[in-house]
Amino acid sequence: MAFETFAVHAACIRGVEAIPVTVEVSLAGGVPGIQMLGIPSMEVMESRGRIRCAMRSAGFEIPRSGITVNLAPGDIRKTGSGFDLPIAIAVLAADEQIPRDNLDRCLIAGELGLDGTVLPVKGEVAFQLLARDMGLSFIAGRSDQHVPLAGVDCGFIDHLSQLAHGMGDAARHYLDSEVLEVTFEPELDYADVLGQEVAKRGMALAAAGELGLLMIGSPGSGKTMLARRMTGILPELSLQDQQEALCIHSVLGENIDGLLAGHRPFRSPHHSISTAGLIGGGRPVHPGEISLAHGGVLFLDELAEFPTGVLQTLRQPIERGYVRIVRVDGAFTFPSRFQLLAASNPCPCGFLGDREVPCRCSASMVERYRGKLRGPLADRIDMMIDVTRPDPQVIIEGAEGMSSAELRDYVVRGRAFRAWRESRMDDADTEAEEDESRSIDGVVSTFGLDEAAEECVLGLSKRTHLTGRGIVRLVRIARTIADVAENERVMQDHVLEAAMYQGRRDQ
């Protein structure tokens, strides 16, 4: 006698998280067919046809009675093709065609092919994290990009016919280590960038101080080469940041080989990107490029070409480290802590100040173009460096410059010293470092300027008409230079070097 009802654990993706769903199946009299309840989306409704064909192909019988499937809770819209496998298992278990042992201790997700093949689904990392939190095993289709998370008992099914003898035929995998073992080797090396030693040091300082950086230079000066190598000088991801990044990439079906190899993400969206594509949105709501850059680098090439409205949406995510999107069906929060890099030509034609190619732009054209760079993101860009085309002789001779390993040592050392320094400060002083509205006296006391450095800052602020925010930017760069040099006090030399990284900014 078949059970009237049977239930298994499943899940659906909401944003970047998996939320638990109970798949309840009832076999009752009536017209044969599958009725779906629980606000299923179109792809979930289509699972009825896939399940029928897959069950036949796997040698199972389709129950002759009516089949009612309820996806609980009933107030959340269920999306994704990952319900195919749990619904099929619940139907077969209710009809006593497969053993029911241990099914109540499994979280199941998988798509079915018409031939009974079990396919992987997007969001495997999120499903695993939910299974671990619920104390369940995770059963799914085998994936080429399986992520071995600590404390998760995983079982993989290749074909629905394997269930004839229960879950014992599922290939098992268990990892009890809390850390993913990776060997970090930068994909690109700064040693390949010739004749840009000042710019390379600026990149290292930006990475050490987590400062936003804008590169201005003519086409072919090496801005993109400099940007693409920055992930190789950032410290290793923490376990939490790595899991968050893996979860985001997994939910969107992005390749995660680089993350598993220890590489931080690098995202470079085109300037035609929409607001939803950049910060997230759509239906169902999904993360955007800034969340895909979480833990890594967001590079905005041709910054002046981005629509002002799109750039405006970046202000709060940069400040908070996350983006919050509110829709009728609820609020979604996505992590978005990233290193901001941007690049731009100095003028519309790109050759203002170039040693070889004359600029064809009028003064008014240059001013309008520069006005775009002083737009919504200007307050979030701490450093501006001019990148000039290197001397051809330097490239021909192939003179060696600083490598990624050397620059990474600067970054790691600077961040470690800053952490040590901040550990000796109280919470008020730590928060004050982020306050851009304080007086020069407050800046001096918080950032630890010596007397000569203080006089230097005052002199620069008068000569260049620095605003209060500009002074804080200058001192923050100088503080980073001091941290890299492992100096508790900011000295005059640090301030003078910091002034080099103010660029052609409208003070």
The string of pLDDT tens digits covering residues 428-481 is 555 555 554 445 555 666 788 999 999 999 999 888 888 888 888 999 999 999
Let me know: does 196 contact 401? Beta carbons within 8 Å.
yes
Q: Bridge partners of 34?
A: 67
Judge whether 292 lies within some domain: yes
Give yes or no: residues 267 and 375 share one domain.
yes
Give yes or no: residues 359 and 482 share one domain.
no
For residue 393, the model assigns a pLDDT of 76
Q: Measuring CA to CA, which residue among 107, 169, 113 is closest to residue 140? A: 107
Judge whether 409 lies within some domain: no
Give yes or no: residues 299 and 204 share one domain.
yes
For residue 170, the model assigns a pLDDT of 60
Give yes or no: residues 35 and 160 share one domain.
yes
Give yes or no: residues 343 and 208 share one domain.
yes
Judge whether 167 lies within some domain: yes
For residue 179, the model assigns a pLDDT of 42
For residue 506, the model assigns a pLDDT of 46
DSSP state at residue 436: S
Judge whether 179 lies within some domain: no
CATH number for position 487: 1.10.8.60
Length of the chain: 507
Give yes or no: residues 432 and 365 share one domain.
no
pTM of the model: 0.88
Pairing of strands 66-72, 17-28: antiparallel
Query: Across all residues in the chain, what is the average pLDDT?
Result: 88
Judge whether 260 lies within some domain: yes
Give yes or no: residues 164 and 195 share one domain.
no
Judge whether 434 lies within some domain: yes
Q: Both tokens of residue 468?
A: 């209060």
Give yes or no: residues 52 and 155 share one domain.
yes
The domain containing residue 123 runs over which residues?
Answer: 5-174
Judge whether 13 lies within some domain: yes
CATH number for position 108: 3.30.230.10
| Domains of the chain: total | 3
Give yes or no: residues 244 and 326 share one domain.
yes
For residue 356, the model assigns a pLDDT of 85
Q: How far apart are CA 175 and CA 173, in angstroms?
A: 7
Last residue of a domain, one of 397, 417, 448: 397
Last residue of a domain, one of 381, 397, 413: 397
Judge whether 185 lies within some domain: no
Enumerate residue ranges in the chain where pLDDT < 70.
1-3, 168-186, 376, 426-445, 503-507
Give yes or no: residues 36 and 121 share one domain.
yes
Give yes or no: residues 148 and 196 share one domain.
no
